[in-house]
Amino acid sequence: GAVVSQHPSRVICKSGTSVKIECRSLDFQATTMFWYRQFPKQSLMLMATSNEGSKATYEQGVEKDKFLINHASLTLSTLTVTSAHPEDSSFYICSAKTAWVYEQYFGPGTRLTVT
């Protein structure tokens, strides 16, 4: 149980275009989802926290107009990188949790390359 999927696993896009990454909880209701960014050989940095049906809460320094997060259902959250640039190339990881438990379940990540 407690499986989180991400799609796509890898994506290459051209500079200036937008790309959407999906995060799904497959066997539980995710009341809260988190989006992380991980640069090579570095740690996970939280970008934003989203609660189902509410606007996402972004961490300091994260551009909310560039990284659009939608959590419209209890099983799906999406991260859209708008007008992507090469510096947005990174590994994006989502995690999900249900209410009143402490554990987060992580997705397998999405590698974004912007050319």
Residue 67 touching other proteins (CB under 8 A): no
| Among the listed residues 34, 71, 75, 77, the single contact to other proteins using CB under 8 A | 34
Q: Are 80 and 18 in contact (CB under 8 A)?
A: yes
Q: How far apart are CA 3 and CA 15, in angstroms?
A: 32
**Which of 13-21, 34-42, 65-73, 76-84 is the region at the interface with other proteins (rule: CB under 8 A)?**
34-42
Largest Cα separation within the chain, whole Å, is 42
Residue ranges in contact with other proteins by CB under 8 A: 32, 34, 38, 42-46, 49, 91, 93, 95, 97, 100, 102-104, 106, 108-109
